[in-house]
Structure 1
Amino acid sequence: MREVNCHDEKIHLCGNIQSFGYLFIFEDDKCVGVSENCAVIMGAASSTVLGMTVEAVLDHVAPSFGLRGDKIEQAVSQSLFARFVERVTIHQKDYFLSLYRYDGKIYLEIEDCTPQAVKTTKLYYYAKHLEDQREGKSCWQALTELIKDIIHFDRVMIYRFMEDNSGQVIAESRSEELESLLNYRYPEFDIPAQARELYRIFHARHTADVDERAIPIMGKAAENFDLTRCSLRALSPMHLQYLKNAGVKASASFSIIVDNELWGLVACQHREPMHVDLSQRHLCTLLTQYAVNRYLADFQKEQVRLHKSLSQLEHSLKSDLLVKRDLYDVLENYANRIMEVMNGQGLIIKRDRAIMTVGEVPDRKILKKIDEEIGTKEFFVTDRFKCTGFGDDVEIFPGVLRISILPVTNWYLYVFRKERLIEEVWAGKPEKVMQIDAEKKIAFPSPRTSFEAWKKITKGKSEKWRPSELAFIENMTHIIQQSIAQRGGEIDKLNRELVRSNNALDTFGYTLTHDLKNPLTTIQLTAQMLLYKKDVSREFLEKSMKNILEGTQLMNDMMDKVYQMSKVNHVDFVFEPINPRSKILNIVENCKQQYQVSHLEFNMGETLQVMGERTLIYQLFLNLIGNAIKYSSKKENPKVSINSFRDGDTVRYDVKDNGIGIDLKESDRIFEIFGRMSNTEGYEGSGIGLSIVKQIANKLKATLHVESELGVGTTFSVTFNNVPVAI
């Protein structure tokens, strides 16, 4: 006996339409198919319509309708819309006329209009209602309320397809006397595969009256007329019986399409016959798509929030892995946070014989069994792991994830989830009942007769692992592997750093040897004179001692600055958003006292945030502002100003003074270590401040620019790159 399944039925080739409309099908501009009821609007037998042109049929049906000749071809060929639709009057009654091309043919549909006209002026309020998600109301719940208000059905549900193609009601609006079906599950065979495919292609379907006789199409054989995109297509007898068994007289459905896939349906049911006309269906389809866009926007926001949270954890983990030597110790410190992100009840880090556990985990015997069944797989994940051969009192962990931290080593990370008992309420027992046709010797599925709540408890499974969780654990493993690989190159890096450090020390050593000769010579000559000269005067003694003190102080300052330079060269810094305003004000006050410039005129504009390290930012402004105040301190009216400006993703700070200025002919020496300009005599300093500024700017990936005029003043500009607008 041959078995015929629901998905074998060619429902798009049914050869029948519903009674609320009329259908004409044209091929090569001749009518090849017409619904049997067309005599009502044609005023002639339906058989006489066969062979007529589209224009001739329009002349008979709607003489006042202006679509004729080339305009007909334009109407069915336009790319902006799938079909041409107009409201027309036939025999003093309003109809919707639709004209479209499909499968090499032209289809003309005429259907009844309902007295309740759709008010397009309400579109704005409909959209606002979908956006209003107060009190935890989802866009799907809002959509059911709107569609119920538009078509006035007893029940409007959002039916979401699950991974196994079964469905679940996730939102519902209904008449008060009806029992709620919210969260009810429906089996896959309730909506067979070919029906789902039609829903994916054509987004609005409805049945006005399940008891109304279907109207046959005259002309060619039924299988020659593909009614996939026909709004009037009759439902299959099996589906009509299904609706009758459910106590439904009229139904409507609107496809929820996400990423070109059928995500779900807006399923509408009414206990009495009810026609939903074309304008109502179009409005419901539009609002359904609007709800999809709202859902996707909310989903994307949640994904961005989750990604940001996971990225912060990954960044923190990466930083610790690079700084701390013991990777195993780092993972132990992060174990609880990893388990929380993975929504696990337990976690194990296993390296050779060492095992570290967090939360609730299987014992070692079960862990060994898990390892034996997983084998050498580097990444394994399941929500239904079965561990047989142990007693009933053993804790069940069907959710198992194991990932190899280092391939070729016995170093693994496990995350476990406990069994989650799930009670599902189904609209009737999800079982397919077959009927036998003895004559044809076939067995075919019978429409379900029972829709009473049937409870099913699912055991042996954990909550499913989400894609974001799996992506996080894989990223975390890659970070660990990258850290280990990076450490593999640390020796070479340290060697290169040592060479660079030695070169820098050579430079410092040469500079010290050369520039310390002057203060050392001064100290030596002064000491010799004091040693050998007899009867020195008090005045000469004081002058000599002052020379010695100044020389030693100069040497001490220079060595301090060299030490500062060595720190700037060798320290790695973590950048963060900084507004230097408070630092600048503090520096200005200290420098006014240091250089005794109480009458300084200081102006500061807006201070924008920059990306940097706090110590470096302080040193940078300390040297720039210190120089500005120092070299303008002997002016009658010393002035210093600081301003910041944004240009795209850069922020520029200008430190301007009216001091002695710089001869830009010597610009190649401005940032040299100990390189003092020729006009700085009479001002204290060792010439290392701007060298430090240059080194700091390099560390901050900032650029320096100098504008100056001798005797007029100097402006130092520092431009910070890659500064986000909102930090």
Structure 2
Amino acid sequence: MQQFQVDLTNCDKEPIHIPGKVQPHGFLVSVSSADLLITYISQNTGHFAGMNAQDLLGKHINELSIALNPTAPAEQLSQLLSVGKHNKSFENINPFGIDINGQAWYIIINPSGNQLVMEFEPAESNLALDVQKVIGRSVTEILSGRNLETLLTNAAAEVKKVIAYDRVMIYRFNDDGHGEVVAEVKNDDLEPFFGLHYPASDIPRQARELYKINLTRIIADVYAEDAPIITYQKDAAPLDLTHSGLRAVSPIHIQYLKNMGVASSFSISLIAHGELWGLIACHNYSPRFINYKARDAAKLIGQLLSSALEYRQDEEDTEKLQQLIAAANTVSGNLKNYGNLQEALVAGKTTIKDITEAAGAAVIFNNTITTIGNTPTDEQIADIATWLQANMSDAIYYTNRFPEIHTAARAYSNTASGIMACSLSKDLSELVIWFKPEQLTSISWAGKPDKPVEKGEDGLLYLNPRQSFEAWTEIVKHTSDRWSNEEVSAVVKIREEIIYAINRKANEIRLLNERLQLAYEELDTFSYTISHDLRTPLSSIKSYSEFLLQSNTSLDDNARRILGRVVNGADKMNLLIQEILNYTRVGRADVKYNKIDMAALLKEITGEVMNALNPPNLKLVIGDTPNIYGDQIMITQVFTNLINNAVKYSSRANPGLVEVKGVVEHNETIYSVSDNGVGIDVNYFSRVFELFKRMDNVKDFDGTGVGLAIVKRIVEKHQARIWFDSKLKVGTVFYVAFRNL
């Protein structure tokens, strides 16, 4: 079997579960599950069997049983294997005690694929006490800790009493795989490791995965030479020792322990919520072996401590989650009580910031940035939003080292080293973003975390374990406190509430728009019907009045004057009705876009207006007339009204001047109609385009107050713009901007 070499490219892939060797304090025999023939065997087995291990390959397990103890029944091992196979488990068998050369040994059996792996190790231990007798007292002492720190320290102290190693540490893994010593009990002559950090490469990913499967791991003597595993099968796959206690150790890790001066190590896994929380790591500075039962008892301590950790962690997490969810519920209530989304999120006593432990938050909604607490500037927040728009693939995004991911954020790392964002609408770039400030952290490593390398004979660079373990301090920048699962849960909840509130408001607006549209259509129909129906009786009133004036010679002057007023009033009302009909027709009509020859149109309109009004001493100038696209009839109404007003209100100037011209700017054609007439009072600016609104200074001029309302309606139907500038007694300029198609 080819030996695996660890270099810079594959350290994290070293197949430590198939080392091809076992530790020499015991020996290993693996048989085929089908026929119990020996297929793999460690070479040191021959030392205990009194024969060459190679000669046992391919033989039935009974032959090994006879070789190990001729006085015991030959079927002892085969019967043991058969019972385990029948029960489909060896849990109740392990460990099984046997006698080898007058000494007590344990057999531990574990399946491995189609193999049954039998590990033989001494029943004797270096411990001077019975672990199982003291385990109960130790567990009681451990669980007496009132907080997490005391709990861990008690656990380290009790494990040291039980297994009597020189140093016992509680080693906690961080999210990135690196570890920290969070509790320690040691002999007085040893330097402390408490608080030191160790890089993830010291216990690489595949090793951490094995710690989740094997809850204890012993290395009895780092200086002993491992025993190779041999097989008679040509090109056989290496034996999988995932569940093995005798499994040999990676050469890198062995050298690592030697460099630390450690001769023996023992570890107990701490599992919380199915993940490796940490290890109870035990070091001894001379070789030390503890047997299977002692290790099993120590494993019980680890399992109880794991349960306590899980409980304490759940207790703390639940309390924190309840606080954050309570804040989220309050903000959710604000969403129902406030009309404005931004106010609901930031204006109350409890705000969007309070649903996390962030220092500040920003709401980006309706193209507006609203902030609360300690946040970057609006320009920097816009930069973050742009980055999130391009890089945010899920509804929730968070990191505690944003400046390392987005280098532009280093400029504001003091406020936004950590960000969490939830998307409200990706298409509209609407977000809520929370910010955590930079936390400059001083980490004390057990030696510089970078592993040294050496060039091998093949020219490749190979990893070597660190030689020095003197404390090495590193200042970590551009990093904030981590976002907890509880904070993420609270953000997920509030996101759903905000989106629900937005959708509810959108539905309300849609319903109001539908009602408004219906009312608008009904009013339009009503206006058209009433205006149309009024024309008949109005015509009758005018006709009878004119008939009386013409046919009745007996009327006195006063009666004739009154009838004349009736006729004039009927004419004015008829004009007003016609204007209302024009206004309603605009609302009903569809825009039919065509290219309009503006030069010809303006010439026709100005001719008709000047003939109709015949103003004295007035000059009308037509400048450039670029063509536009629109509805010919409607555009005629627009310019007829604007030019008619300009001429009418300038007719008393001396001399009067009206100018009409167009200019093309970017994607618009802008026409202006200017005059030097009476002008508009600034107090009336907001009412110029309202229906039936006329200014006080034009009451002496004929008009209905409908013309500009018609103009405004037509312009909006063309998706164009209209505005004006005006000054009393100076004049007015109306501008109409049409989109270029």
* TM-score category (smaller protein): 0.5 to 0.7
Matched residue type, 2:453: M
| Alignment partner, residue 42 of structure 1 | 49
Q: Secondary structure at the match of 2:358?
A: coil
In 1, the alpha carbon distance for the partners of 2:284 and 2:36 equals 40
1:18–1:232 CA contact under 8 A, matched in 2 = yes
In 1, the alpha carbon distance for the partners of 2:346 and 2:19 equals 65
1:223 deviation in Å?
A: 5.3
1:76–1:101 CA contact under 8 A, matched in 2 = no
Q: What are the superposed Cα offsets for residues 171-194 of structure 1, whole Å, 9 maximum, x if unpaired? A: 222222222222322122222344
Q: 1:381 to 1:75 in 2, by over 3 A?
A: closer
CA RMSD of aligned residues (A): 3.5
1:72 deviation in Å?
A: 2.8
Q: 1:181 to 1:265 in 2, by over 3 A?
A: same
1:64 deviation in Å?
A: 4.5
1:248–1:272 CA contact under 8 A, matched in 2 = yes
Question: Paired residue for 1:397, among 402, 410, 416?
Answer: 416
| Alignment partner, residue 270 of structure 1 | 284
| Alignment partner, residue 422 of structure 1 | 441
| Alignment partner, residue 258 of structure 2 | 244
Q: How does 1:633-712 map to 2 (within 5 A)?
A: none
Question: Paired residue for 1:92, among 95, 102, 110?
Answer: 102
Matched residue type, 2:96: E
Q: 1:220 to 1:237 in 2, by over 3 A?
A: farther
Q: How does 1:314-463 map to 2 (within 5 A)?
A: 314-334=328-348, 337-352=351-366, 356-375=370-389, 380-386=397-403, 395-404=414-423, 412-438=431-457, 440-463=458-481
In 1, the alpha carbon distance for the partners of 2:76 and 2:462 equals 47
Q: Secondary structure at the match of 2:467?
A: coil
Q: What are the superposed Cα offsets for residues 499-546 of structure 1, whole Å, 9 maximum, x if unpaired? A: xxxxxxxxxxxxxxxxxxxxxxxxxxxxxxxxxxxxxxxxxxxxxxxx
In 2, the alpha carbon distance for the partners of 1:225 and 1:298 equals 40
**Residues 1:12 and 2:17 aligned together:** yes
In 2, the alpha carbon distance for the partners of 1:392 and 1:10 equals 44
Q: What are the superposed Cα offsets for residues 457-479 of structure 1, whole Å, 9 maximum, x if unpaired? A: 11112222223212212322321
In 2, the alpha carbon distance for the partners of 1:136 and 1:257 equals 15
Q: Secondary structure at the match of 1:57?
A: helix
Question: Paired residue for 2:497, among 462, 476, 479?
Answer: 479
1:86 deviation in Å?
A: 1.9
In 2, the alpha carbon distance for the partners of 1:394 and 1:4 equals 33
Q: 1:187 to 1:135 in 2, by over 3 A?
A: closer
| Alignment partner, residue 297 of structure 2 | 283
| Alignment partner, residue 465 of structure 1 | 483
5+ long unaligned stretches in structure 1: 495-727
Q: How does 1:527-606 map to 2 (within 5 A)?
A: none
Q: 1:220 to 1:286 in 2, by over 3 A?
A: farther
1:308 deviation in Å?
A: 2.9
Greater Rg over alpha carbons, structure: 2
1:75 deviation in Å?
A: 2.4
Question: Paired residue for 1:110, among 112, 120, 123?
Answer: 120
Q: 1:52 to 1:80 in 2, by over 3 A?
A: closer
Q: Secondary structure at the match of 1:89?
A: strand
Q: 1:408 to 1:394 in 2, by over 3 A?
A: closer
In 1, the alpha carbon distance for the partners of 2:410 and 2:176 equals 32
Q: 1:344 to 1:95 in 2, by over 3 A?
A: same
Q: 1:182 to 1:39 in 2, by over 3 A?
A: same
Q: Which is further off, 445-454 or 333-342? A: 333-342
1:96 deviation in Å?
A: 1.6
Q: Secondary structure at the match of 2:208?
A: helix
| Alignment partner, residue 229 of structure 2 | 217
Q: What are the superposed Cα offsets for residues 136-159 of structure 1, whole Å, 9 maximum, x if unpaired? A: 535443332232222211112222
Matched residue type, 1:35: S
Matched residue type, 2:18: L
Q: Secondary structure at the match of 1:451?
A: coil
1:4–1:443 CA contact under 8 A, matched in 2 = no
Q: What are the superposed Cα offsets for residues 309-365 of structure 1, whole Å, 9 maximum, x if unpaired? A: 333333333334324444433323336543244212223345557655433222333
In 2, the alpha carbon distance for the partners of 1:410 and 1:226 equals 52
In 2, the alpha carbon distance for the partners of 1:315 and 1:75 equals 56
Q: Secondary structure at the match of 1:272?
A: coil
Q: Secondary structure at the match of 2:420?
A: strand
| Alignment partner, residue 29 of structure 1 | 36
2:167–2:284 CA contact under 8 A, matched in 1 = yes
Q: 1:49 to 1:431 in 2, by over 3 A?
A: same
Q: Secondary structure at the match of 1:137?
A: helix
1:394 deviation in Å?
A: 8.9
Corresponding pairs, count: 493
1:60 deviation in Å?
A: 3.8
1:420 deviation in Å?
A: 0.9
Give the TM-score normalised by structure 1. 0.61
Q: 1:280 to 1:405 in 2, by over 3 A?
A: same
5+ long unaligned stretches in structure 2: 513-741
Matched residue type, 2:81: I
1:336–1:358 CA contact under 8 A, matched in 2 = no
In 1, the alpha carbon distance for the partners of 2:201 and 2:219 equals 20
In 1, the alpha carbon distance for the partners of 2:38 and 2:511 equals 82
Q: 1:321 to 1:260 in 2, by over 3 A?
A: closer
1:294 deviation in Å?
A: 1.9
In 2, the alpha carbon distance for the partners of 1:468 and 1:429 equals 34
**Residues 1:75 and 2:92 aligned together:** no
**Residues 1:311 and 2:321 aligned together:** no
Matched residue type, 2:305: A
2:212–2:276 CA contact under 8 A, matched in 1 = yes
Matched residue type, 2:106: F
2:331–2:351 CA contact under 8 A, matched in 1 = no
In 1, the alpha carbon distance for the partners of 2:409 and 2:80 equals 78
Question: Paired residue for 1:128, among 137, 140, 146?
Answer: 140
1:382–1:400 CA contact under 8 A, matched in 2 = yes
In 1, the alpha carbon distance for the partners of 2:460 and 2:433 equals 52
Matched residue type, 1:275: F
2:58–2:232 CA contact under 8 A, matched in 1 = no
Question: Paired residue for 2:62, among 55, 58, 61?
Answer: 55
Q: What are the superposed Cα offsets for residues 22-80 of structure 1, whole Å, 9 maximum, x if unpaired? A: 22222332223333333443344444434442233234434447846544311255345
1:397 deviation in Å?
A: 2.5
In 1, the alpha carbon distance for the partners of 2:237 and 2:304 equals 36
2:198–2:445 CA contact under 8 A, matched in 1 = yes
Q: What are the superposed Cα offsets for residues 206-243 of structure 1, whole Å, 9 maximum, x if unpaired? A: 11111122223344379543333222222233221111
1:100 deviation in Å?
A: 3.2
How high is the sequence identity, in percent, across the aligned residues? 27
1:429 deviation in Å?
A: 0.8
1:405 deviation in Å?
A: 5.0
Q: 1:250 to 1:493 in 2, by over 3 A?
A: same
Q: Which is further off, 473-482 or 118-127? A: 118-127
In 2, the alpha carbon distance for the partners of 1:61 and 1:389 equals 71
Question: Paired residue for 1:203, among 192, 215, 218?
Answer: 215
In 2, the alpha carbon distance for the partners of 1:241 and 1:37 equals 23
In 2, the alpha carbon distance for the partners of 1:355 and 1:241 equals 57
In 2, the alpha carbon distance for the partners of 1:277 and 1:153 equals 14
Matched residue type, 2:251: P
Matched residue type, 1:462: S
In 1, the alpha carbon distance for the partners of 2:323 and 2:49 equals 67
